[in-house]
Structure 1
Amino acid sequence: MCVPWQIATMDALFRLYDRLALLAPGDDETSRAALRRVMPLPPRARVLDIGCGTGRSARMIAAEQPDAEVIAIDVHPPFLEEAARGAPPSLRTRNESMDALSDPDESVDLIWSEGAAYVMGFEAALRSWRRVMRPGAHAVVSELCWLRAPSETARAFWAEAYPDMTNVEGTTRRAQSAGLEVIETLVLPERAWDAYYAPLEARCDALASDPTMHAAIESARREIALWRATRGEYGYVMLVMRRVSPSR
Structure 2
Amino acid sequence: MAETLTKLAYQTFQQGKSYFGLAHKTLSTQLLNVLAPDAKREIEPLSTELLLQLQQRLNDLLERDWLDAEQGVYPASLLFDNPWEDFFRYYPQVWLDMPKIWQRVSEKRYQDFSPTVRLSGYPAYYVQNFHHQTDGYLSDQSANLYDLQVEILFNGTADAMRRRVLSPLKRGLESFAVAPHQLRVLDVACGTGRMLRQIRGMLPNASLYGIDLSPAYLRKANQLLSELPGELPQLIQANAEELPYLDNYFHGVVSVFLFHELPPEVRQTVIEQCFRVLQPGGVFVICDSIQLSDSPEMAPAMRNFATMFHEPYYRHYTTDDLGDRLEEAGFSAVQSETHFMSKYWIARKAAQAETTVNS
| TM-score category (smaller protein) | 0.5 to 0.7
1:211 match? none
SS in 2 for 1:103: coil
Query: Which residue of 220, 238, 244 corresponds with 1:102?
Result: 244
- 1:35 to 2:173 alignment: no
Sort the Cα spacing of 1:155 and 1:40 in 2 relative to 1 into closer, same or farther, 3 A.
Answer: same
Structure with larger Rg? 2
2:346 match? 240
2:303 match? 154
Sort the Cα spacing of 1:39 and 1:12 in 2 relative to 1 into closer, same or farther, 3 A.
Answer: same
- 1:174 to 2:319 alignment: no
- The count of corresponding residues between Structure 1 and Structure 2 is 197
Residue identity in the other structure for 1:236: S
Sort the Cα spacing of 1:62 and 1:131 in 2 relative to 1 into closer, same or farther, 3 A.
Answer: same
SS in 1 for 2:135: helix
What is the rounded CA distance, in whole Å, between the counterparts of 1:156 and 1:39 in structure 2?
Answer: 34
Deviation, structure 1 residue 127: 1.3
What is the rounded CA distance, in whole Å, between the counterparts of 2:305 and 2:159 in structure 1?
Answer: 27
Residue identity in the other structure for 2:164: T
Sort the Cα spacing of 1:36 and 1:161 in 2 relative to 1 into closer, same or farther, 3 A.
Answer: same
Q: How does 1:163-242 map to 2 (within 5 A)?
A: 163-167=315-319, 170-189=321-340, 235-242=341-348
Higher helix share: 2
- 1:76 to 2:214 alignment: yes
Deviation, structure 1 residue 155: 9.5
What is the rounded CA distance, in whole Å, between the counterparts of 1:23 and 1:182 in structure 2?
Answer: 35
Deviation, structure 1 residue 6: 8.9
SS in 2 for 1:48: strand
- Tell me how large the CA RMSD over aligned residues is: 3.3
What is the rounded CA distance, in whole Å, between the counterparts of 2:220 and 2:171 in structure 1?
Answer: 27
- 1:20 to 2:146 alignment: yes
SS in 1 for 2:248: coil
What is the rounded CA distance, in whole Å, between the counterparts of 2:165 and 2:301 in structure 1?
Answer: 31
CA contact 1:59–1:91 (8 Å) conserved in 2:
no
2:257 match? 115
CA contact 1:67–1:90 (8 Å) conserved in 2:
no
Residue identity in the other structure for 1:126: I
The C-alpha deviation readout for 1:15-51, integer Å capped at 9, x for no partner, is 5453332676633342333333324374311111010
What is the rounded CA distance, in whole Å, between the counterparts of 2:142 and 2:212 in structure 1?
Answer: 17
CA contact 1:23–1:53 (8 Å) conserved in 2:
no
How many percent identity over aligned positions?
18
What is the rounded CA distance, in whole Å, between the counterparts of 1:161 and 1:183 in structure 2?
Answer: 23
Sort the Cα spacing of 1:40 and 1:152 in 2 relative to 1 into closer, same or farther, 3 A.
Answer: closer
The C-alpha deviation readout for 1:118-176, integer Å capped at 9, x for no partner, is 425433321122111111111011233222164598299489543532458x3322221
Sort the Cα spacing of 1:82 and 1:132 in 2 relative to 1 into closer, same or farther, 3 A.
Answer: same
Deviation, structure 1 residue 90: 4.6
Question: How does the TM-score come out when normalised to structure 2?
Answer: 0.47
- 1:140 to 2:274 alignment: no
What is the rounded CA distance, in whole Å, between the counterparts of 1:6 and 1:72 in structure 2?
Answer: 31
SS in 2 for 1:36: helix
Higher strand share: 1
SS in 2 for 1:38: helix
What is the rounded CA distance, in whole Å, between the counterparts of 2:237 and 2:279 in structure 1?
Answer: 23
